[in-house]
Amino acid sequence: MKDKRGKSGNGGGTRPTISQVAEAAAVSRSTVSRVFSRPESISEPTILRVREVAAQLGYTPNHAARALSTGRHRNIALIVPDVANPFFPPIIAAAQEAAETQDYCVFLGSSGESAERELKLVERLSGQVEGMILVSSRLADEQILELHARQSLVLVNRDIERIPRVLIDSAAGTLEAVAHLAQLGHRQVAYISGPSGSWSNAQRQRAVRRGAARHKMSMRTIACQAASFEAGRECVEAILTMGTRAVIAFDDLVAQGVIAGLAGRKLSVPQDMSVIGCDDVLGAATIPPLTTVSNCSVDAGSVSYRLLMDKLESHVQSDVRYVMSTHLVVRDTTDSPSGRAAGK
Amino acid sequence: MKDKRGKSGNGGGTRPTISQVAEAAAVSRSTVSRVFSRPESISEPTILRVREVAAQLGYTPNHAARALSTGRHRNIALIVPDVANPFFPPIIAAAQEAAETQDYCVFLGSSGESAERELKLVERLSGQVEGMILVSSRLADEQILELHARQSLVLVNRDIERIPRVLIDSAAGTLEAVAHLAQLGHRQVAYISGPSGSWSNAQRQRAVRRGAARHKMSMRTIACQAASFEAGRECVEAILTMGTRAVIAFDDLVAQGVIAGLAGRKLSVPQDMSVIGCDDVLGAATIPPLTTVSNCSVDAGSVSYRLLMDKLESHVQSDVRYVMSTHLVVRDTTDSPSGRAAGK
DNA sequence: CTGTTAGCGCATTCAC
DNA sequence: GTGAATGCGCTAACAG
């Protein structure tokens, strides 16, 4: 138990403790403690003196020790299915930034789309955080509920009653997308699905179906292996044999994959095929710029953080269900089914 | 100090402590503690019994408390300039995954490219981690050195002696890129720079200059505001007035921006301009597929984690400098300066 | 406004 | 092998 942090030198400067500051400042440890946690109850002069001494000793409160005593860690955990998926980073950034302003730290977990890993992460983390934000959780409802019994939770893109959640309602935008296609003259549309456990995927698929019905279009679904560029590319085979001239993809990555696959077959977008993405993670950064269902996913990060804090502060809870709408952003990957051919 | 975690019900299941397990299993707290930290010193039967009781009580060791006593948090921090930049997520994912296998948790900090925020994050985090990985740190050398005096550090893309570091040597690939351009017949090349504080940027710029000299090409630099699509787009003005027919961009995002900006002026790639990116974060997911300097950035994540662990375990340190090479991946955005025009 | 006392949950000497 | 103390660094009553 002695010499915990190695010698001096690098990588292990032994941090000064509250006692050392207290001694050096000739006050009690409590006083030092209060200077750093509730300064309003301490006289101006002593505050200054303690601060002075602390600074020159390089003292910094030990959050772990503090947590042990208060039960408040000032840490939160953020779990996502895959950090590398461009949909999540903006959310992560926003949440972390929001946390930072309140001096909270955030643990990041990436489950690799695996419910099992997600569960492990959650359990491992649960001891050192005050609450967690589960983004697009792949866990089963029951697992989440059980977790919720002993941990403050906020969900993103997962709709479970009694748990605060922020939902990115892609239905609205997806409906617009179908309408847009219909207006262009398309009579059929294909939805290229995403991860099976995904709430967003289910929601989008439903929306496409509903929209298609409303506009008397035929609708089919193509199962995509994963939410990736490669998977999208591999779908073109199926799309082509299906004979559709318009597809709505689970997300922008898949859409880009489809476009690339099409290009590989000398088919171009939007002349030969209209392609619509989802999430708008690529912005206009594609060529041609992708028509897509845009959302304010960044806000999902800050809002979910706020929700978590609200929950932590007020123990009385109403059933918060924060829905963020989406809308279609028409860029250059959609056209009428005849396309350029019409000009011939 | 009582009732720290609220009532029972949701969001605050009061976790069982080691004492409760001890009592229920009719052993001492020490025994329970040992069962979970050094089972080899406990008899088989008691291990089983304690485990049994613990499981049914839902007991899990409190890592924060444990850390207080041992000084080992089993947490690390990972700081990046911007989570939303596609270069970092794969590194983050790899590091987190590596950590996960050893039951370590990772704090994520995104500094928004600001040295000031980075410093704050680092100081805030330093108390609850055993070590930190600074990726593309924007801090000054002195700040890093100072930090290194009291914290175990590993650097990624930052070359400071005596601190373990993994460097993605884009010089090799960048040199290839210039050679490739020269071979295509280009006599001039422009480098579109990235963040000023970036080690990688400095390295790339140097490499372009060296390569240009070697191939007797003229070389100019265009200052780009940031490492983003938009910034790249805004550079085309400068590129065009400069009269170059070949550019090497700081990264793929900037390159994509340039291509888009060009497209906006009815100029196409590679016919009118050869464009080379860096980092290969977009893979072949662009249209046309981007010629770029590829690296194994994913490995940077796992390697840096390993380096950190090595450092933590063996206090005797050699000066580790892990260099990962890069190479040019020729896809479809480069051509001879005459390009299609040659056919006319 | 400040010092004293006690304890958060756990790992760790020592004894046995 | 196991139990009884002691302390990690800090906050929270309780007095004064």
pLDDT tens-digit series, residues A224-277: 888 889 999 999 999 999 999 999 999 999 999 999 999 999 999 999 999 999
Q: Say which residue the tokens 């934000």 belong to.
A: A133
Neighbours of B61 (CB within 10 A): 16
Count of CB atoms situated within 10 Å of the CB of A66:
20
Say what angle helices A18-25 and A29-37 make with each other, to 10 degrees: 110
The conformation of residue A4, written as its DSSP 8-state character, comes to T
Distance B17 CA to C7 C1' (A): 14
Is the pLDDT at B10 greater than 80? The verdict is no
On average, the pLDDT of chain B sits at: 92
With 0-12 / 13-18 / 19 or more C-beta atoms within 10 angstroms meaning exposed / middle / buried, residue B41 is exposed
Among the residue ranges A147-161, B1-15, B248-262, the one predicted with the least confidence is: B1-15
Sign, Cα dihedral of A208, A211, A212, A213: positive
pLDDT digits (tens, 9 = 90+) for B101-145: 999 999 999 999 999 999 999 999 998 999 999 999 999 999 999
**What pLDDT does residue B234 have?**
94
What pLDDT is attached to residue B342? 36
pLDDT(A83) > 60: yes
| CB-count burial class (<10 Å; 0-12, 13-18, 19+) for A43 | exposed
Residue B5 — very low, low, confident or very high, per pLDDT cuts 50/70/90? very low
pLDDT of residue A21: 95
Cα–Cα distance list, A321 to A94, A164, A167, B136 (Å): 19, 6, 7, 38
Other CB atoms within 10 Å distance of the CB of residue B334: 25
pLDDT (mean) for B325-343: 81
Q: Which of residues 68-107 of A touch strand C (CB under 7 A)?
A: 68-69
Q: Does A273 touch chain B (CB under 8 A)?
A: no
Whether the beta carbon of B5 falls within 7 A of nucleic chain C: the reply is: no
**The predicted structure's pLDDT at residue B199:** 93
Distance CA B104, CA A92 (A): 20
Q: Answer yes or no: is pLDDT of B155 > 80.
A: yes
Backbone angles phi, psi at B282, to 5 degrees: -90, -10
Higher pLDDT: B296 or B7? It is: B296
DSSP run (H or E) holding A17: none
What pLDDT does residue A11 have? 64
Q: Shortest CA distance to B69 belongs to which of A4, A73, A59, A124?
A: A4
Give the pLDDT of residue A315.
65
Mean pLDDT of chain A: 92
A96-139 residue pLDDT tens: 999 999 999 999 999 999 999 999 999 999 999 999 999 999 99
The β-bridge partners of B279 are B294
> What's the whole-model pTM score?
0.92
Question: What pLDDT, on the 0 to 100 scale, is given for residue B13?
Answer: 63
Residue B161 pLDDT class (50, 70, 90 cuts): very high
Instruction: Kindly report the three-state secondary structure assignment for every residue of B160-209.
Output: CCCCCEEEEEHHHHHHHHHHHHHHHCCCEEEEECCCCCCHHHHHHHHHHH
Q: What mean pLDDT comes out for the span A22-49?
A: 94
In chain A, whose CA is at the least distance from the CA of B315?
A6
Whether the per-residue pLDDT at B9 is higher than 60: the answer is no
CA distance linking residue B126 with residue B148, whole number of Å: 11
pLDDT at res. B284: 81
The gap between the terminal CA atoms of chain A, to the nearest Å, is: 83
Query: How many of the other CB atoms lie within 10 Å of CB of A317?
Result: 15
Q: How far is B175 from chain A (nearest CA, A)?
A: 27
Assign B286 a pLDDT band (cuts: 50, 70, 90): confident
Statement: residue B57 has pLDDT above 70: yes
Query: Could you say which residues from 289 to 318 on chain B have a Cβ atom under 8 Å away from some Cβ of chain A?
Result: 289, 311-312, 315, 317
Residues 15-44 of B with CB under 7 A from strand D: 26-31, 34, 41-43
**CA→C1' distance for B35 and C15 (Å):** 20
Query: What pLDDT score was predicted for residue A340?
Result: 45
Q: With a CB-CB cutoff of 8 Å, which residues 131-190 of chain A face chain B? A: 131, 148-153, 162
pLDDT for res B11? 63
Cα end-to-end span (Å), chain B: 84
Sheet holding A188-192, edge to edge: A218-222, A188-192, A246-249, A274-279, A291-294, A327-329
A270, two tokens: 């939007």
CB B177 within 8 Å of CB B189:
no
